[in-house]
Structure 1
Amino acid sequence: MNHFKFSFSKNKIQLIKLPLIIIGIINLFIIFPSYAQSNQKTTLDSLLKVIKNDISIKDKVNTYNLIANEYIPNDSLEIIKYTEQAINLAKKNNYYEGIVSAYYLRGGFYRKVRNIELAKKNYEQALSIAVENHFEEQQGDIFYQMAGILKRETKHEQAIESYKNAIQKFQKIDNKLKMGDANYQLGVLYFGKGMYDETIKTWEEALQNKKIINDKLGIATVYNAFGVLYDRLNQYDKVLFFYQKSLEIKKEIGDLKGMAKTYNNLGKVSQDKGITLKALEYYQKSLDIKKELDDKEGMSHTYHNIALIHKAQNSYDLAMGYMQKAIEINEKLDEKGSISYLYSSLGDLYEIKQEYDTALTYYRKALKIREQLQDKSNIASSYQDFASVYLVLKKYEEAISFIKKSIDIRQKLGEQAHLAQSYLVLGSIKYQQGDYKEVIKYLNNAIELAQKAEDPVVIQESAGILALAHQKSGNYKEAYQNQLLLKQMTDSLSNDENTKRITRLESEYEFKQVEDSLQKTNILQANQLEKEEIKNRSQRNFNILISATLFIVLILAFFIYRSQQKQKNLNTQLNEQKEALSLRGKELVEVNNELSTLNEELNQTQEEIIAQRDSIESQNILLEEQHQEIKYSIRAAQTIQNAILPLEEQMKQKLNDYFLIYRPRDVVSGDFYWLGSIGKTRIIGALDCTGHGVQGAFMSMIGFTILNKIVNTNKITKPEQILERLRKEIQQALRQKQTNQNNGMDAVIVTLEELDNNQTQVTFAGAKRPLWYIKNQETEIKEVKGSRISIGINYKDDRKITSETLVLPSGSLLYFGSDGLVDQNNMKREKLGTTKLKELLSQNALLPLNEQKEAIENALDEHMKDTKQRDDILWMGIKV
């Protein structure tokens, strides 16, 4: 359960001394946030008008920054444009606070769009200027945001230091609000690291600051956090105390969403303690509020929590009903991750009910979604689900296959606690097969990892099976030791379980009393209702008679009244028609005069239109001439670009069997391919330059020329050396260190050398592009990833491009190219995607390459039907 989904105040650098109109706009955002969201365009238009007025330099800089802030996070070009204008103007006038604000805004934008490297770069630039000018509050804001980035990158020690720096800066200016925010976030980090004493200390400091400024929402949030902490520490009384304190404040300030979350937390605690009736009560209150707020996602979570209660009570059908409600909501929200989790939970229920085919069906549904989301951790969970079912069905080979896949993923992800569970399942399978040596190995691993993760259930189950395995292997001493461990864990769990069971029995007794009371009340109500029904039936008959009489009298009166009204209305209409005819005559005279005047104006307008038409025709002739010149220039550029690309005869001679898909988005392309050879080494390149059209074509010609020089003149044949040399040459050619621009390219370089034993040595280096390959007579695609470096980008660290060498049997296939193919969208703005392309290549791997090309192009054409090509496309397939 994720307890930490709190909304806290967002720190922003202040823009100072704004003119009155800008202050008015900002106040509108603060007082009426919903108005601000629905009228963002109006606010933006107002700011764009302000910038044209005669205002001071500082006000102009601040307004540029406000305009950029309005575009976040939707329009990166506009954000860069207006912050750049703010920076340039502020630098000319030594207005350093404006420069800091602009870089800070950029950092925030890049953080929102998950471009962490650029976010850091802009925050660091802002921090450097803020430190130099002793801007304490701005330094604190930047340290706070940087800490958030470091926390996301799981660099927790660095994040802790950054929050401490933020707190120190906010203390200097005595900003209680921001001190409280930073202390709270620091406590969240300490909580995640299990440093509970430090967590308590920092949250107490946060609470103290929030109380001083009477930040009630902040106080409620910290109380809620303390509830989470003491839940972790199993101090039930304190959990209830802090959750109730948080709830009281949220009720006071009308924070319905916060109340729903706290009720949900109280329900979870009660559920964990076995107080079923109380848990259901809290969950129902949470659900009622979420329905009022139309919080579909929150309703889904609560339905699932209620389902888990019914599952624990062995009411499996009820549990399934609530899970289906949760699934229906998540399908409407398109929350695929939640749907996969619920499918997995339904599979668990069917597995408990021993309906294994249905369980496997739901596990497959969960796995399919998780594979689409590339959710590695939960894919491993699905594999373990399959293994547990196949273990029960005694299909041991299938069970082993799935659990080993699960273990492989969890080892790579470093999920120690989950890995212990997987080893337990694998040990259980090996025990059923009678392979006790393997049982001992895997279950020792399970116990070691479970002890680190403090998971007594895994330790208990592992120790029990391990004792039996040692006994059957004749290792009686080890069997005895594991029996002791089993007893120790069983006693510990029994104490906890007995406490929960007693509480649960009390809850079930209360639940039964309520149910019996309701049944008695229903019987009494039924008797009373029968008596009242007899009495009411007699009264109804009398009322019907009276009503019928009155109805007849009313109808007669209505017809008399309507006849009188008709005569009266007819007289009135005749008088009105007489007056209207008189007025109409006067109006016709006036209209005639107006038509005469209008006719004169139309004649004058016609003369103006004829003059404008002649002018437009002249402009059209000029535009057409210019258009033809541009078309001719672009066609000439296409001819030049085609002339430098390798000829088809050269490709066939050096590559034998290959296919090439080359589709410029415009007439000329920013993608290009290169082919050469030095001795027996054949060199092939596929490069994707910045931009497309004319800009990309110029870059491609620069790249092509430099590649010729590197390989043909300098005789360099190692792929990583070719790309490293290309990096330097591009930077020199474009003078990037002087101009500070980052135009460049992503690239693949492959060399082929035939060996004596009917094999080919393939050496690959990539700049942000991969190599895919399929071995001869196989269909499984394997991938070699390129280096995380783009040609032409300046990196602060000393990154190097590396290569990888493969030895493949003749007939193996290589695939590589630019990202234009997988990034092509359809009418629904869905990309073709890496997964779909890999499936397509795998399905057609055994076909000749010309048929593979046809299959890819057909799939691409079908995918992009009724849409425009978004980027240049280059894709190659080579049989070695």
Structure 2
Amino acid sequence: MGKIEKLQTELDIAKEPKEIVKVAVTLGEELFFKGRLKESYQVSKLVFENIDKINDDKENYQVKGIAYSNIGFLRSASGDIQNATEYLNKAKYYLETVQSQYLADAYMRLGSLKWNIGNYDEGLQLTREGLMLAEKHNMVRTIGFSAYLLGGFFIDLKDYEQAEKYYNRAYKAFDEAQENNGKGRIINGLANVFYLKEEYDLALENAQKALDMHLLEENQSSISRDYNDLGKIYKAKKEYKKAFDFYGKALHIRLENDLYTAAVTTLSEIGSLHLELENTKEAIFFLEKAIKEAEKLNAKAKLFRVHLLMSDAYKTENNYEKAFFHLEQYNEIKELALGDENSSRIKNLETQFEAEKAQQESEIYRLRNVELREAYAIIEEKNKDITASINYAQRIQNAFSSRDYFKELFPKSFVIYIPRDIVSGDFMWVTKIEGKKILVVGDCTGHGVPGAIMTVLGRTLLKNIVEERKIIEPSKILYTLDNNIREALHQETSNTNDGMDATILVIDEENKKLEFSGAKLPLVFTRNGKTERIKGSSSAIGGKTYKKEKQFQTHTLDFQKNDRFFLFSDGYQDQFGGSDNRKFMSRNLIQKIDESSKLSCYDQYPILKDAFFDWKGENKQTDDVILVTVEL
């Protein structure tokens, strides 16, 4: 039984969503790399249908990240750039959060997508990062595909020496993995290098060799690439009948298998061939189809070249108005994609990548200066130590989180917790004392390691104040916490002004009473389809004392069955994003809560979480995020 048949059998008996997703991802990718594209897309539907059924716990982040990477990759291959970008960014978030080695695939796929839409410097950087991570974890297939993509990128940049360098690296990886389809792709890539050097006989020899390998493997995607490139080579050799024949075969396969991005290439090649033969009307027909598809896919890397061909076509017809229009389009899009500034950034990136690679052992020995080698080695070791320490700190911080106890106290609940830098300055703390449940959400000064240290201090002090000293009135907890933090950090005599914002709920379920006090943070709650907000104090916890005395007020309300309460830091509402790159704002968060308030906690959770990531887009995360929801 072959690998694909074995995976199909495993998928047929899989029952749980997580098991279905894991097997379907592996099977879908095997089918894709074997060229069985439509079967691969069918299997990917199972991934899409089951991924949201997997609990969004950190232990599932790797599975979900790999699955989103798979969906995004297949959407990208079929030309659905918008959804592909969304899913690959989700994959990047999940896999970065758990520092998964499979982040290498997400980087590579996102890099390829960015390159195809004309974001060359970003595409190069992501793909290069994917290659470095794959090499670190000896992910042979990913090394092969990342290096193969980089070879293609440098062909586009007319840097054939770099292209050959990456193709050779890719071939070595595919040979080690016994991946004949991959080896065929590399031979095809080298054929393109020879073609661009105008060494057409060598180009033809390699392209035919690649085609023979892919025909044996029955890989339709790769076969279509070989046909297209054979057409291009025969065109250069002035053997036009053969060129049309191979282009026709390539276009048929690409349209038949929904490979629309690749189809744009073939359409433009056929248009160019007609133009060379002075079949102007036919040239315009194919080039218009290429422009239409490229615009639909936002494929700037292909689009500007087609506009140049269209300009030449209309020039031969003496239609100078349209010729000038397409020439303007060519210059405008080319400047966006490959302008001087962008080209400079790409060159700088490659220099930077070489320096980064020098930190790895194999590259260190290539450096001529011994002292510089030692410096790079020290930096690499320190970075490993620091990252390992922070990751360990994350484990300690998670152990403090009381997540299991929180679920025990509040079965109908959820937590959205998104650290900005591995460890977080936002925290949650819960306890039960004298028959009352106490829930605290805190937002400490800073993020990363400094913020995480403050969370440890905050939790430790809360445990002492509430569980040992039996102070359970919310405003008194805040007053005591404020004094204790200022004493612990010696803020009357030191220069530190650190502290935190906080929300405290004390819930008396027996008497249906709830008490709230907030230090700069509000309480939002929904009741019978209506959303209300109670503001917290304008004073924060900790920091130097001023003439004006801090005021913390306790608010008391009766709660009803199905009332839902929301406690959150300011990280969600302060996130920059959207079309205007502005803050999300608290009113929009409250509106989003209100719009989804009639859903169950289970269904409201993804609405609020996805809204954050949709708003954030590709922007850097502004601050740590925590949003805690309980239904009473």
TM interval, shorter chain, is 0.3 to 0.5
Q: Which has the higher contact order (CA 8 A, sep 6+)?
A: 2
Structure that is richer in helix per residue: 1
Which one has a bigger Cα radius of gyration?
Answer: 1
| TM-score of the pair, normalised by structure 1 | 0.30
With the length of structure 2 as denominator, give the TM-score of the two structures: 0.41
